[in-house]
Amino acid sequence: MTTSAAQETAGTRVMLILLTAALLIVLLVLPLVVVLAEAFRKGIPAALATLSDPDSLTAIRLTLIVAAISVPLNTVFGVSAAWCISRFRFPGRGALVTLIELPFSVSPVISGLVWVLLFGINGWLGSFLDKAGVQIIFALPGLILATVFVTFPFVARTLIPLMQEQDASEEEAAITLGATGWQTFSRVTLPNIRWGLIYGVLLCNARAMGEFGAVAVVSGHIRGQTMTMPLQVEALFNDYDWVGAFTMAGLLALLALATLAVKAALEWRIGRRGGMH
C-alpha cells in the first residue's frame, strides 16, 4: 500500500516537474529564442547596423536616461512611503496605501493621458508652461513623469508588507543606543529590507525600461527625439523592418537579463558577507 502510494506521489511529482518545465520553455525561453533568432536572421552585421542607426541609438540612450532617473526617484519615494505607512499611524494612512496602488489599477494609457491633460499645450498648466518656455509633453520630462507614475508602486508595494511584519523594535533599540535617524535607517532598517528592496528596484527597472502605453501617449512619436526602445521596436515593426525590430527587442531583453544578473551578483555578495537569510 505504502509503496504504491509513494510511487503515485513520485509519478505526480515527475508530471508536475515536466509540466512546469514545458510551461517555462513555451512561455519564457521560446519567445526569447525567437526574438534573438529573428534579430540575427540576416546575420550579425545586419543586426549591428540597426543598432548603429542614429534613431536607434537615441532610443537606447533615452530608455537608459529615463530608467536612470525614474528608478532612483521611485526607490526614494517607495522607501519613504513604506517607512511612513509601516512606522506611523496618521489620519489618511489607509487612503495613502490605496493611492500608492493607483498606478497599478488604471490603464497605462490613462496614466499617460493625465500628463497630456495637465501639461499639454491645451492642458490646465500647458499655456503657462509654454509661455515660460518649458516643454514637458512630447519631450524627455514627459517621458520621465509618465514612467515615474507607472512604476511608482513597485518599491513601495514590496516593502510595505515586509516592514509591517518587522515591527519597529529594532529601530527603537538603535535609537535608545544613541543612533541618529540616518544611522538607524542605514544600519538597521536598510539591511533588514535589502532583499525586498532589491526585488522592488528590479521590478521597477524592468517596467521603467519596458513601459509602452503611458510613454507612447506623452512621447508624440518624434523619431530620433522622443522614441524610447519599446516605441522604437513598434515603429520598426510597422516599417516591416523585422531585423531592426527584433534586434531592438533582443537588446531590451538582454537589458532585463543584465538586471537579473546584477541582482544575482548582489545576492551572492551580500549573502557571503554574512547575512543569515
Partner 1 sequence: MADRTPRGHALNVEMRGLTKSFGPTPALNAVDLTVRNGEFLAILGPSGSGKTSLLRVLAGLEFAESGTIAIGGRAMEGVPARERGVGFVFQNYALFRHMTVARNIAFGLEIRPRRLRPRAHEIRDRVASLLDLMGIGDLGGRYPDQLSGGQRQRVALARALAIEPALLLLDEPFGALDAKVRKTLRVWLKDLHDRIGLTSIFVTHDQAEAMEMADRVAVMREGRIEQVDTPDHLYLEPASAFVHEFLGEAIRLDCVVADGVARFPGLPSAVLPTSCRPGAAIALIRPYEIGFIVRPGPAHVVSVHANGPLKRVRLLIGGVGIEVLSPAEGWTPVVGENCDLELSKARVYPI
In angstroms, give the least distance from the CB of 164 to partner 1.
16
How many of the chain's residues bind partner 1 (CB under 8 A)?
20
C-alpha cell at 110: 490613462
CA distance 82 to 68: 21
C-alpha cell at 261: 544578473
Whichever of 36 and 179 has its CB closer to partner 1, that residue is: 179
Contact map string, positions 54 to 93, toward partner 1, x by CB under 8 A: ----------------------------------------
Whichever of 135 and 192 has its CB closer to partner 1, that residue is: 192
Contact map string, positions 183 to 222, toward partner 1, x by CB under 8 A: x---xx--xx------------------------------
In angstroms, give the least distance from the CB of 82 to partner 1.
18
CB 129 within 8 A of CB 116: no
Quick count: other Cβ atoms within 10 Å of Cβ 84?
14
Whichever of 98 and 169 has its CB closer to partner 1, that residue is: 169
In angstroms, give the least distance from the CB of 157 to partner 1.
23
Whichever of 5 and 276 has its CB closer to partner 1, that residue is: 276
Binding flag, residue 272, partner 1 (CB under 8 A)? no
Residues 143-182 that bind partner 1 (CB under 8 A): 169-170, 172-180
Backbone angles phi, psi at 90, to 5 degrees: -150, 155
Residues that bind partner 1 (CB under 8 A): 169-170, 172-180, 183, 187-188, 191-192, 274-277
